[in-house]
Amino acid sequence: MSFNLFWQSAQAVPGAPGVRGLIVEVGTWREVAQDVAAIGGRLLGLWAEDTEPRQRVVSALLLGDVGALVASLPLAEGEGSYPSLHDLFPSATRLQRAVLDLSGVPSTDPDQRPWLRHAAWPADFHPLTTQTPPAPVLPAPVDDYRFVRVAGEGVHEVPVGPVHAGIIEPGHFRFSIVGEKVLRLEERLGYVHKGIERRFTEFPLLDAHRLAARVSGDSAVAFSWAYCQALEGIAGARVPPRAAWLRALALELERIVNHLGDLGALGNDAGFAFGLAQFSRLKELSVRSVEAALGQRYLLDFIVPGGTRSDLSIAGERALTTHIESLVREATTLREIYDEHSGLRDRFAEAGTVAPELAARLGLIGMAGRASGQEFDLRVDLPCVPYGELKPKKCVSRRGDVLARVAVRFDELLESCRLVLQLIEGMSAGAHVTSLSLPPTGAFGVGMIEGWRGPVVVTLTAGPGGAIRRCHPQDPSWHNWPVLEHAIIGNIVPDFPLINKSFNLSYSGHDL
C-alpha cells in the first residue's frame, strides 16, 4: 500500500492544511514510514500521549508528496516497545530518546541513552505521566553519559561546553580529532529542563499561546501561530482575513530580523567586524520599526487565539514601508560587499558542506535544507492563508556550504522584504480578531508554520473544561542538529563557530 493510499484513507485533521490522521497497528506503523522514506518524504514530529489511564499512543507526523499524515500507534498496557524509525529517519533517534525520558515509552532503537534527563530526575519518573514529581536530589547527581569514543593513533578529544562564553544556552560538543581535522562530533543538549511540555497541561487552552511563543523565543511568531492554528482548527473558528495577513506580516518580519542578526554574526565569525556592525544596526532599526508598527520589538504576544493582539495603523503602514524600502537598498549593498570580499569568501566556501544527497538522507529541513538542495517550504508546498495568494519564491542553493547558507539568507531576507510590502499593500480592512468557543474534550489538531529556521509543528489535544490534555511543540532544530555533526567532519575545530552559526539551531527548542 503506497503513502498516497494511506493518506487518502485517513481522516482530515483540523488545523494546518493538508494534514490527515490514521490509527495504525504495529506492522502498518513501519509500512507507512517506509513508504514515506521511499518517496523522499520527511519525519516532521514524533511524540507520545496518554489517551486513557491504561493506554498510550505514539504518533509520528510524516510528510509525503500529497500532504502530511499523523500515524498513531496505540500501545496496550504492558506492551513492550514500539518499532523504531531511526533506520528510515535518522532524526528519529533523538525524538524517541526524548519520548522515553518524558513519557516512559521505549522504542526498539539500540540507542537507549537518556537525552533530556541528565539524571535530573529518577530514571523511573516520567514528567508527562500523571505521577507526582519527586523531591529534587541535592546536590544533583552527575550521570556518566556514554559518548561514542573514537580510537586510533593520534586521536584525541576536545570537549566544549555545556557552559559557553556570552549568553547562549548550554550545549556540550565532544570533538574527536586527529591532527587538525575533526573525525567526529557528538552533541549533547537539553540541559535547562524547562519542563515545557508538562507546563502546557497546566495552562488553559485560550492562554497557552503565550507559552508556545516562548518555546524558542527567536521563533515566537511561528510557534504561537502554529499553536493558534491547531486551536482554531479544533474550535472550528474562522480567523478574519485581515488577521491572517497580519500574522503573515509578523512572520516575515521575524524572518527578516533573524536573518539580519545571523548575517552580521557570520561576518564577525569570519573576522569581518564591519559586517557585524552594519547588520546589527539594521537589526536594531528593524525591531524598532516592528515595535512602532505592531507594539513589541519581539512579537512574543502578538498572535492570539482568533487573530492578533493589535492592528496595524495607517501611520504604522507608512513607517514600516519606508523602513523596508531602505532596508532593501542597504542589504543589497552589503550583499555586494560580502560577495566581493575575498577573505569572507575564502572562509565561507567549502566550509561545513552538506551535499544534497546527504541532506536528503539525514532529513535536513528549512533554511539550511534549502541551502543543500532540499526545496521544501511550507509557505509554498502546503500554504495556509494568505500564502497561497502571496506565492512566495523558494530560495535554494545546491552548494551546501557556509557560503550557500549565507546566500540563501540574503535571498530570503530580500524575498521577505518583498512579501512585507505586498502584505501591507494588499491587506483588506476589517476585524483583526474573533472570539473562539472551547473545543470538545479529546479534539486533536495540528499547526504547521514555516518559521525562519524551518517548519514549526505544534500538536494539541483538548482536555475537559478548556484544559490542555497534551501539547507537543516541535522545533525544526531536532532534525538539523544531527546534520551539524556531519557538516563539521573534515573541517578544523576553529571553524566550528562559523559552521555552527551558519545553521544557528535552537538550544531552547530541545529543552522540553
Nearest residue to 89 via CA among 478, 506, 489, 486: 478
Q: Which pLDDT tens digit goes with each residue over 405-436?
A: 999 999 999 999 999 999 999 999 999 999 99
* Grid cell for residue 100: 522515553
Report whether pLDDT(122) > 90. Answer: no
Cα–Cα distance between 299 and 223 in angstroms, integer?
11
Report whether pLDDT(301) > 90. Answer: yes
Average pLDDT taken over every residue of the chain: 95
Question: Which SS3 state, helix, strand or coil, does residue 308 take?
Answer: strand
Q: What is the distance between the terminal CA atoms of the chain, rounded to a whole angstrom? A: 35
Q: Which pLDDT tens digit goes with each residue over 67-103?
A: 999 999 999 877 779 999 999 999 999 999 999 999 9
Q: Which pLDDT tens digit goes with each residue over 307-322?
A: 999 999 999 999 999 9
Least confident segment among 193-197, 250-254, 299-303, 450-454: 193-197
Q: Which pLDDT tens digit goes with each residue over 247-280?
A: 999 999 999 999 999 999 999 999 999 999 999 9
Q: Which pLDDT tens digit goes with each residue over 430-482?
A: 999 999 999 999 999 999 999 999 999 999 999 999 999 999 999 999 999 99
If you search the block for the grid coordinates 493558534, which residue do you land on? 228
If you search the block for the grid coordinates 569581518, which residue do you land on? 272
**Predicted pLDDT of residue 142:** 82
Report whether pLDDT(166) > 80. Answer: no
pTM beyond 0.95: the answer is: yes
Question: Which SS3 state, helix, strand or coil, does residue 97 take?
Answer: helix
Question: Which SS3 state, helix, strand or coil, does residue 22 take?
Answer: strand
**Predicted pLDDT of residue 53:** 64
Cα–Cα distance between 490 and 496 in angstroms, integer?
11
* Grid cell for residue 500: 555552527
Report whether pLDDT(1) > 90. Answer: no
Cα–Cα distance between 214 and 508 in angstroms, integer?
9
Q: Which domains does the chain have, with CATH numbers?
A: 3-103 (3.30.460.80)
| Amino acid at the residue 231 | L
Cα–Cα distance between 102 and 124 in angstroms, integer?
10
Please report the beta strands in 96-166, taking only residues with DSSP state E, as ranges in sequence order: 155-160
Least confident segment among 21-25, 123-127, 477-481, 490-494: 123-127
**Predicted pLDDT of residue 83:** 96
* Percent over 90 (pLDDT), the chain: 87
Cα–Cα distance between 372 and 369 in angstroms, integer?
5
Q: Which pLDDT tens digit goes with each residue over 379-403?
A: 999 999 999 999 999 999 999 999 9
* Percent over 70 (pLDDT), the chain: 99
Report whether pLDDT(237) > 90. Answer: yes
